[in-house]
Amino acid sequence: MLAILYPDTPLESDAYRETMHFLENLPGVSLRVHEVQGAQQKLTEVYLLGETKSLDKDEISALPAVERVIRISDDYRILGRHRDDQRQSGFTYNGVNFGQDNLNVFAGLCAVDIPEHVEAMMSALQQHGQVCTRMGAYKPRTNPYSFQGHGKGCLPWVFETAGKYDQKVIAMEITHESHIEEIDTCLEKLGRPTGVMLQVGTRNTQNFELLKAIGRQNTYPVLLKRGFGITLNESLNAAEYLASEGNANVIFCLRGMKTEAGLPHRNMVDFAHVPTVKRLTRMPVCIDPSHSVGSRDRAPDGMLDVMHATAQGVIAGANMVLADFHPKPEKALVDGPQALHMDELSAFLQDIELCHNTWKKRQALYSGRQGTNQ
């Protein structure tokens, strides 16, 4: 069960003390308090865990600091979408809005290589009105002898260049909790010219200690990739690990599943799960067409498979697109063959806008028809 307190309830107020005293003394029930800092107000959510079946919802609703009570299921307690659950989805980070109704594109380099390429990418993004990008500094690689990313050495010039080209949020994978501090120290030293969304890669989806460490901080939001060989439920539970430690600013990323059934694509494209994740949870949903498709194969209609997969995800309501681009793909140190080219950026962005608008029109088409087939 979840008790949501009135916004901005002071911790020293009688109403708060009385409410918490009552809840703390419920037999067999333990409490977990979760603070949600919105743009205008602070929300306090009190999760009641344990013996909650026999609790009287009306009695708890009547406590002086309680605004409303939601009965929640065991799955995805914080991030889940529960019956009668009107809680907001999404968050704002560094001036950029992330929700289940809007869309942000993160085009950029799979792996940071040289300053010229980072600059060419970010300058093109700025010219196209984009404020988000992807830049890999810490790369998890299958082969230990492959390039592992420049690590913290590249952070200063990547962040400075982002500031120069007005990039507000960089999606950057981390593979170890020490990377959070490396990123934070560098950003702080530079006066925070940009922001970072910490990316957890598919190989680390169930690295629970990493998830807990990332969840313990609230400075950076998280992009969690679906595990490539586990169920959707298992991946959503991994996201809940972040929230259970205190960080609910999580975006869930579909990136395809590892199975030969997906061939000739690198992974089996799973973007039909975009609306499913939005139904089960309040997380914005990202699609990664580059790592799903993994090639520059082109259909007879002239469009790359990557473009088609992107369109499928966006038309189904995706909220974020993570895509590999490179100014000189033949020189890229990681995933060059699947990268989109700079002269494809404009059409790609227009295609995405078209599909996002079509999703909105589809929504209007079906609005008011909920329940007609139930």
Which positions touch ligand PEP (CB under 6 A)?
Answer: 110, 136, 173, 201-203, 225, 255, 288, 291
Both structure tokens of 141: 């690689």
Asked if 152 and 180 touch (Cβ cutoff 8 Å), the reply is no
Query: Shortest gap between Cβ of 266 and ligand PEP (angstroms)?
Result: 9
Q: For strand 96-98 and strand 91-93, is the pairing parallel, antiparallel, or unpaired?
A: antiparallel
Q: C-alpha 176: how far from its chain's center?
A: 18
Interacting partner of 225 out of ligand PEP, Mn ion, none (Cβ under 5 to 8 A depending on kind): ligand PEP
Interacting partner of 162 out of ligand PEP, Mn ion, none (Cβ under 5 to 8 A depending on kind): none
Q: Quick one: 201 or 215, whose CB is closer to ligand PEP? A: 201
Q: Quick one: 81 or 326, whose CB is closer to Mn ion? A: 326
Tell me how many helices (H) and strands (E) the chain has: 11, 14
Q: Does 110 bind Mn ion (CB under 5 A)?
A: yes
Angle, helix 232-244 to helix 208-215, in steps of 10 degrees: 40
Q: Candidates 20-28, 186-194, 224-232, 327-335 — which segment interacts with Mn ion by CB under 5 A?
A: 327-335
* Binds Mn ion by CB under 5 A, chosen from 335, 339, 355, 356: 335
Q: Quick one: 201 or 313, whose CB is closer to ligand PEP? A: 201
Interacting partner of 273 out of Mn ion, ligand PEP, none (Cβ under 5 to 8 A depending on kind): none
Q: Quick one: 110 or 124, whose CB is closer to ligand PEP? A: 110
Q: Quick one: 77 or 255, whose CB is closer to ligand PEP? A: 255
Burial of 364 (0-12, 13-18, 19+ CB in 10 A): exposed
With tokens 């009287």, the residue in question is: 56
Shortest-Cβ-distance residue relative to ligand PEP? 201
Spell out a b/e string for 93-116, using b for 16 or more CB atoms within 10 Å of the CB, else e: bbebebbbeebbbbbbbbbbbeee
Query: Shortest gap between Cβ of 172 and ligand PEP (angstroms)?
Result: 10
166: left (phi over 0), alpha (psi -120 to 50) or beta: left
Interacting partner of 202 out of ligand PEP, Mn ion, none (Cβ under 5 to 8 A depending on kind): ligand PEP
Q: Quick one: 305 or 335, whose CB is closer to Mn ion? A: 335
Cα–Cα distance measured from residue 14 to residue 12, given in angstroms and rounded to the nearest whole number: 7
Cα–Cα distance measured from residue 296 to residue 337, given in angstroms and rounded to the nearest whole number: 7
Asked if 339 and 290 touch (Cβ cutoff 8 Å), the reply is yes
Query: Shortest gap between Cβ of 216 and ligand PEP (angstroms)?
Result: 22
Interaction mask 68-107, Mn ion, x per CB under 5 A: ----------------------------------------
With tokens 């259909």, the residue in question is: 299
Q: Quick one: 45 or 324, whose CB is closer to ligand PEP? A: 324
Query: Shortest gap between Cβ of 267 and ligand PEP (angstroms)?
Result: 8
Interface with Mn ion by CB under 5 A: which residues? 110, 335
